[in-house]
Structure 1
Amino acid sequence: MGREDVLDQAERRTAAAVARRYYLDGESKVDIAADLGLSRFKVARLLDQAKRSGMVRIEVVEPVDDAVLELAAQVRDRWGLRECWVVPDSDAPQQDVGRAAGELLGRLLGPQDVLGMPWSRSGHAMVDALTTLPRVPVVQLSGAAATTPVDSSTVDIVRRASRIAGGGRQVFFAPLVMPDAEAAEAVRRDVAVRDTLGAASTVTVAMVGVGAWAPGESTIHDLVDDAAREKVAAAGAVGEIAGVFFDDRGRLVQTSVSRRVIALSGEQLSAIPTVLASCHQPARAPALAAAVRGGLVTALVVTAEVAEALLELSP
């Protein structure tokens, strides 16, 4: 955001009044200018700045099938979610879910919030489709996966989101999973890592992915060896969010891999008031359900197929 887009307090009040009269009351720029003693060019500039600052948000809402809305309401009510959006099944479910997640994230965030984002494929898809966010700071919640199916790191995701939000960011450079607990502890002592993960305690809204503990269904599962995978499963973990493991009731599970992960703690995740997860893979529905049971996830964006799978499970 350039200096010409920054409004002082008086200009913000004037811009709000101009925007309200133009967009909500349908008054013309000429009439507003004449009534407020401004030039038409000044009115046009204030309207443009109101949009750039996030004071005004314009969206085109595509018609949604009533059956999809009903499905979303059923999942929301059954699972006690703050929000649930269902995207109709399509040929590009990841992109469609990512686009919807970005829209819902913008609605969940207010100017007082702090946004947190770990690495996830769903987070990448969401940022890829993101066009607007309120002016909030963004905090990185995990290190970067060494091998991912998309050309994007956690730092890249946070940087892109923060450029759109314009509220600053806290990032660090570190892998998501270290070879052992000692190496992970050494990385956590790095000032940038320590301070950024400490700032995870200030996060009020997080956008996360939920991984099921199975091949191809969790980034961390695919990064560790068979022995580590077996130990995590033996500990009772059915899924993870940024390396925070949980069982089928959504209770936090500490594993040998937990000590190797560079990410926020389970306690920090549990303390975030609003956690939005998106999912287009029906195979992850049981892990997603477990995360909701435990209160680790409070809002969802899913495909119709995933929504139907959630309705077949017990809260």
Structure 2
Amino acid sequence: MKNFAARDKNIKPVGRLEFVIGLVRDEDSSMATRAAWLHYAGGLTQSEVAKRLGLTSLKAHRLIMKANQEGLVKVYIDGEVSECVELEQQLSARYGLNYCEVVPDFDADDLPLRALGIAGAQFLKREMERGEAMLIGVGHGRTLAASVEYLPRTNNRHVRFVSLLGGLTRKFSANPHDVIHRLAERTGAEAYVMPVPFFANTVEDRDVLFSQRGVREVFELAKTADLLIVGIGTAKRKASLVSTGMIEASEIEEIEASGAVGEMLGHFFDRHGKPIETTLSNRTFTLSREELSNRRMVAVVGGKIKADATRSVLESRLLSGLITDERTGRTLMERAP
């Protein structure tokens, strides 16, 4: 859990504003990166940047704007908002969490990908900066993909990543969820993927694929991960599992009819957090619920459309940590019995 020291609720911590300039190898962006580095990291004014680089002030301004527009500048706020801290305490106590982080709302969308992406990236960055040899198991989902997008480029040879489930989809062009490759590219870390679909067509197909060289080894590696980062899905027709072609619409309708509300790593839960056995249960390429128990597992999730699903997974007590937005956090407390 975060360090919840007593503090005056009326005092807003000032915190620290941190700018992270991404590493860029593209020649066209090299000057923009240099200008952004001098401005944000070096503290130079735009006029001083122009003088240092031998450019006009207008050109320096355009280069810095270019760096921002291309996502080369990542902004992190190192501080706490008292209302969010109080909500973190309530959620931790209600759902038995060891770690909870609630970020302020600023996304108007039902799925606040930007806020969650920044928070998820900060969490990953802190974990990697511990300097310890670490194996991080990674699920998939739009929030995890957003977290990788906001993660600055680093060189972390002491960290490794491994897929927690099969990531191949029926629609190859619509696979925004497999974040392992982008994590490896941004961090320079070793990454192990499961070259199998999320669900096999039959139990027999799953057994055959499991026996293939390399597949079983990756699963065994995933069982030893020090930290699991996961997303949470819904059991609705518009679920990401359906939109990416991992399962058919008819399959999710059958699952929803059985009482499922939330999904995590291919496991479905009802509104009380009880697992739902589905026709997909024995065909899933993922860790079992027993293998997920008593693990350090943190979910990055939020948004109006995910509130019920998130609560169902929290009620399962499999999660040890939660990163969410303020609006979702309040909804989770309001709906808690």
Match for 1:124: what amino acid?
Answer: A
- Identity over the aligned pairs, expressed in percent? 27
Match for 2:170: what amino acid?
Answer: A
Q: Distance in 2 between matches of 1:107 and 1:200?
A: 21
Match of 1:280 in 2: 302
Match for 1:127: what amino acid?
Answer: V
Q: Which has the higher helix share?
A: 1
Compute the displacement of 1:243 (Å): 0.7
Compute the displacement of 1:150 (Å): 6.0
Q: Distance in 1 between matches of 2:171 and 2:88?
A: 34
Q: Distance in 2 between matches of 1:96 and 1:283?
A: 15
Q: Which of 146, 150, 160 matches 1:125?
A: 146
**Residues 233, 194 of structure 1: CA spacing in aligned structure 2 closer, same or farther, 3 A cutoff?**
same
Is the CA contact (8 Å cut-off) linking 1:246 and 1:252 kept in structure 2? yes
Q: Distance in 2 between matches of 1:245 and 1:188?
A: 22
Match of 2:66 in 1: none
Q: Distance in 1 between matches of 2:177 and 2:331?
A: 30
Match of 2:207 in 1: 185
Match of 2:277 in 1: 254
Q: Does residue 170 of structure 2 align to residue 146 of structure 1?
A: yes
Match of 2:261 in 1: 238
Q: Distance in 1 between matches of 2:220 and 2:277?
A: 19
Compute the displacement of 1:208 (Å): 0.7
Superposition TM-score, scaled by structure 1 size: 0.70
Match of 1:290 in 2: 312
Q: Distance in 2 between matches of 1:167 and 1:72?
A: 31
> For structure 1, which runs of at least 5 residues remain unmatched after alignment?
1-58
Q: Does residue 103 of structure 2 align to residue 82 of structure 1?
A: no
Match of 2:288 in 1: 265
Q: Which of 190, 194, 199 matches 1:168?
A: 190
- Superposed CA deviations along residues 163-185 of structure 1, whole A, max 9, x for unmatched, are 44544222232222333333333
What is the SS of the residue equivalent to 2:299? strand
- Superposed CA deviations along residues 280-313 of structure 1, whole A, max 9, x for unmatched, are 3223222212222222222111111101111112
Match for 1:152: what amino acid?
Answer: P
**Residues 108, 314 of structure 1: CA spacing in aligned structure 2 closer, same or farther, 3 A cutoff?**
farther
Q: Distance in 1 between matches of 2:246 and 2:185?
A: 30
Q: Distance in 2 between matches of 1:66 and 1:82?
A: 19
Compute the displacement of 1:256 (Å): 0.8
Compute the displacement of 1:87 (Å): 1.8
RMSD after superposition: 2.9
- Superposed CA deviations along residues 170-212 of structure 1, whole A, max 9, x for unmatched, are 2232222333333333222222222111212101211111112
Match of 2:115 in 1: 96
What is the SS of the residue equivalent to 1:284? helix
Q: Distance in 2 between matches of 1:64 and 1:209?
A: 24
Is the CA contact (8 Å cut-off) linking 1:218 and 1:240 kept in structure 2? no
Aligned positions, number:
255
